[in-house]
A and B are shown apart, each in its own frame.
Chain A
């Protein structure tokens, strides 16, 4: 056992749950984030106390002056002087103690037994880490294999998230542009659609970059015993939101620059419409009528107040926001049973929808599904009802900072906050994806209990993560700017301890690739330019003709 020791305990660290050890580390195994353990007697039995390396400093290095000439190795110089040993480096490593894995608590327990000075420190075996770090087990019910431990060889320590964890207590994927957040989301969606999960997922896709998820329908690895996942895409022109399903805040949000009086009149009209024609059963014309009915100049129920400027302005605004839209409709609505079904991923593409409308659509969808889940759980809805959703659902929102902005009121923010705080009870999980956590509402971010954080270089964004994400330690946050594409820090409820992972390869193609501008420019010249070039050619390159009047024409 001693033969595999990689270091020797030096003593306690700066904080109570830290210790330091000294190691020569000739093979460069002891990377930042690597897992090591010491053994200690806990309750009468020998336990492996796992810890994570959080700092590494050199205590023995060649003198700087030995490196005066890059062509002369300091080893060569030392050997010439008589020091011909390979032991030329020594490191002090700080370890944050996680503890031993408590099978009863299904979590790490810190025994508060510090290691003895001089005790051997061992590097954790791959098998041990595979067992201890993941809450899920790769390929089993409730697991989402998203990648491998970064400090080990690819495939050596697969890490599977606990799907139950992030679908009930929510998920945040935070990364700067180009660091692979959509790719990771694609991996998660693949795992959710695997035969062992068969999730009901809705993806709000403002850029229309998840089209490639359709490939899961044709891949053999997603099929099992007659199960095959479905991917349904609602493109912008397919979207329908029934006007009567919009709430008063939705309407107020869509109609910009409302005066106090307009707000008041809209509220009265909204309630009038609901009272007169029933909740969720009125048209835009009926809403116009309701506005007229409650207007200042109205004399009776049948006498409208068209001359009232407030009424006119309100009707004009309603018409501008809802009347000309192909999305807001008098009768049609996307029903929940079209959106949610176990084993189905629904992509709602919003790439041609204006931002305010996007927020209202998302707010309306979230409100409806949340209410449907409440009603279903409480037995108010029965099988056959189109809003009957008898299973938990998971909604993934791309560009979440647009739906829950930090310093602005968005109609979708409130709905998101409700679901983030209460959704757990009714089986509505939310996954937020954002490249600007600094612009994301901090309450929203802090309520996502599983965090996948990729490379973040912006200091404002880093600070927001530090403020809102409690489960990631300071040492991990220091890694954020240094992460490469496809590397992610995962922490929170779906893993046993914060981990640095290498995201696995997607089974489907990635749809969020950057446009290759130089290649497309060249393609244009090779394929499209010749025809156009003839049209635009200079006269000198064309045959000239002289007409009857003596004018020259090309």
Chain B
């Protein structure tokens, strides 16, 4: 059982990557929808170590270097879209006669890199290293998410919040609210501080926007 969900196929910036989810021809078992849901935390492998061993398909070593990001967007790629002309084959026959066409139908997710992990452990901030095309992407476990959100003193840390808010992306406030809600389940003792942050983001993105 692997938590691998796809591979990096493109990037829009140093921290904004595009991951193509594994399609039916690549994996017998496609990643479950909640693995790449909006706000899911993922690890992007960095060279030389893959995030997931390609040979075994098993999860890599815990200290393998990787970027840590969050799914913030999704796009569907369908070559047949707007191709309304007559077809020689039916949809079911395409698997046999034109498997490439099926391969080109893909689900892409946008991943914002929020930090990285190396031998020193997880760090938040803009990563120095860059993932490569083909780098594997896997979802983080709950334990890894918790570790990623603790600083060296063991305090809850959300250092990336300001950086992603500065992106001025319309999806970011909702993403941040989702992250805060998710962190609330991991860190119930920090509910007060998370609530302040949540109220702040919600006020700006909901009340102030609507007013």
Count residues of A near B (Cβ-Cβ below 8 Å): 13
Q: Are A85 and B208 in contact, with the CB atoms below 8 A?
A: no
Instruction: Give chain B's interface secondary structure class.
Output: helix
Q: Binary interface profile of A, 60-92, with partner B (CB < 8 Å = 1, else 0)?
A: 101111100000000001100111010100000
With contact pairs A78-B206, A81-B206, A82-B206 given, residues A87 and B199 touching in the complex (Cβ less than 8 Å): yes
Q: Are B202 and A65 in contact, with the CB atoms below 8 A?
A: no
Q: Which of B198, B199, B203, B211 has the most CB of A within 10 A?
A: B211
Q: Are B211 and A83 in contact, with the CB atoms below 8 A?
A: no
Q: Are B195 and A83 in contact, with the CB atoms below 8 A?
A: no
Q: In the complex, which residues of chain B have a beta carbon less than 8 angstroms from the beta carbon of A81?
A: 206-207, 210
Q: Could you tell me the distance between the alpha carbons of A83 and B195 in the complex, rounded to whole angstroms?
A: 12
Q: In the complex, which residues of chain A have a beta carbon less than 8 angstroms from the beta carbon of B206?
A: 78, 81-83
Q: How near does chain A come to B88, taking the closest CB pair, in angstroms?
A: 49
Q: Are A60 and B203 in contact, with the CB atoms below 8 A?
A: yes
Q: Could you tell me the distance between the alpha carbons of A355 and B195 in the complex, rounded to whole angstroms?
A: 70
Q: Are A63 and B198 in contact, with the CB atoms below 8 A?
A: no
Q: Which of B199, B206, B208 has the most CB of A within 10 A?
A: B199
Q: How near does chain A come to B210, taking the closest CB pair, in angstroms?
A: 5
Q: Could you tell me the distance between the alpha carbons of A64 and B208 in the complex, rounded to whole angstroms?
A: 10
Q: Could you tell me the distance between the alpha carbons of A65 and B210 in the complex, rounded to whole angstroms?
A: 9
Of A65, A82, A85, which contacts B211 at CB under 8 A? A65
Q: How near does chain B come to A544, taking the closest CB pair, in angstroms?
A: 83
Q: How near does chain B come to A462, taking the closest CB pair, in angstroms?
A: 38
Q: Are B198 and A85 in contact, with the CB atoms below 8 A?
A: yes
Count residues of B near A (Cβ-Cβ below 8 Å): 11
Q: Which residues A26-66 have CB closer than 8 A to chain B? A: 60, 62-66
Q: In the complex, which residues of chain A have a beta carbon less than 8 angstroms from the beta carbon of B210?
A: 63, 66, 77, 81
Q: How near does chain A come to B199, taking the closest CB pair, in angstroms?
A: 4
Q: Are B199 and A64 in contact, with the CB atoms below 8 A?
A: no
Q: In the complex, which residues of chain A have a beta carbon less than 8 angstroms from the beta carbon of B203?
A: 60, 83, 87
Q: Could you tell me the distance between the alpha carbons of A82 and B208 in the complex, rounded to whole angstroms?
A: 12
Q: Could you tell me the distance between the alpha carbons of A60 and B196 in the complex, rounded to whole angstroms?
A: 13
Q: Binary interface profile of B, 189-211, with partner A (CB < 8 Å = 1, else 0)?
A: 00000011011001100111011
Q: Could you tell me the distance between the alpha carbons of A85 and B208 in the complex, rounded to whole angstroms?
A: 14
Q: Could you tell me the distance between the alpha carbons of A78 and B195 in the complex, rounded to whole angstroms?
A: 16
Q: Could you tell me the distance between the alpha carbons of A65 and B208 in the complex, rounded to whole angstroms?
A: 10
Q: Could you tell me the distance between the alpha carbons of A310 and B112 in the complex, rounded to whole angstroms?
A: 109
CB-based nearest A residue for B200: A87
Q: In the complex, which residues of chain B have a beta carbon less than 8 angstroms from the beta carbon of A66?
A: 207, 210-211
Q: Could you tell me the distance between the alpha carbons of A293 and B104 in the complex, rounded to whole angstroms?
A: 135
Q: How near does chain A come to B17, taking the closest CB pair, in angstroms?
A: 29
Q: In the complex, which residues of chain B have a beta carbon less than 8 angstroms from the beta carbon of A63?
A: 207-208, 210-211
Q: In the complex, which residues of chain A have a beta carbon less than 8 angstroms from the beta carbon of B195?
A: 85, 87
Q: Could you tell me the distance between the alpha carbons of A77 and B210 in the complex, rounded to whole angstroms?
A: 10
Q: In the complex, which residues of chain B have a beta carbon less than 8 angstroms from the beta carbon of A77?
A: 210
Q: In the complex, which residues of chain B have a beta carbon less than 8 angstroms from the beta carbon of A82?
A: 202, 206
Q: Are B202 and A62 in contact, with the CB atoms below 8 A?
A: no
Q: Could you tell me the distance between the alpha carbons of A55 and B207 in the complex, rounded to whole angstroms?
A: 26
Q: How near does chain A come to B195, taking the closest CB pair, in angstroms?
A: 7
Q: How near does chain B come to A61, taking the closest CB pair, in angstroms?
A: 10
Q: Could you tell me the distance between the alpha carbons of A60 and B195 in the complex, rounded to whole angstroms?
A: 16
Q: Could you tell me the distance between the alpha carbons of A82 and B211 in the complex, rounded to whole angstroms?
A: 13
Q: Which residues A233-280 have CB closer than 8 A to chain B? A: none
Q: Are B199 and A78 in contact, with the CB atoms below 8 A?
A: no
Q: How near does chain B come to A74, taking the closest CB pair, in angstroms?
A: 9
Q: Are B198 and A62 in contact, with the CB atoms below 8 A?
A: no
CB-based nearest B residue for A66: B211
CB-based nearest A residue for B208: A63
Q: Which of A64, A65, A77, A81 has the most CB of B within 10 A?
A: A81
Q: In the complex, which residues of chain A have a beta carbon less than 8 angstroms from the beta carbon of B208?
A: 63
Q: Could you tell me the distance between the alpha carbons of A60 and B207 in the complex, rounded to whole angstroms?
A: 11
Q: How near does chain A come to B131, taking the closest CB pair, in angstroms?
A: 34
Q: In the complex, which residues of chain A have a beta carbon less than 8 angstroms from the beta carbon of B196?
A: 87
CB-based nearest A residue for B198: A85
Q: Could you tell me the distance between the alpha carbons of A8 and B111 in the complex, rounded to whole angstroms?
A: 37
Q: Binary interface profile of B, 132-162, with partner A (CB < 8 Å = 1, else 0)?
A: 0000000000000000000000000000000
Q: Could you tell me the distance between the alpha carbons of A66 and B209 in the complex, rounded to whole angstroms?
A: 11
What would 9 A/B residue contacts be, using CB atoms closer than 8 Å? A60-B203, A63-B208, A66-B207, A66-B211, A78-B207, A83-B203, A85-B199, A85-B202, A87-B203
User: Other than the known A62-B207, A63-B207, A66-B211, what 8 A-B pairs have Cβ atoms closer than 8 Å?
Assistant: A63-B208, A63-B211, A78-B206, A78-B207, A82-B206, A85-B195, A85-B202, A87-B199
CB-CB nearest 5 A-B residue pairs: A63-B211, A87-B199, A83-B206, A85-B199, A83-B202
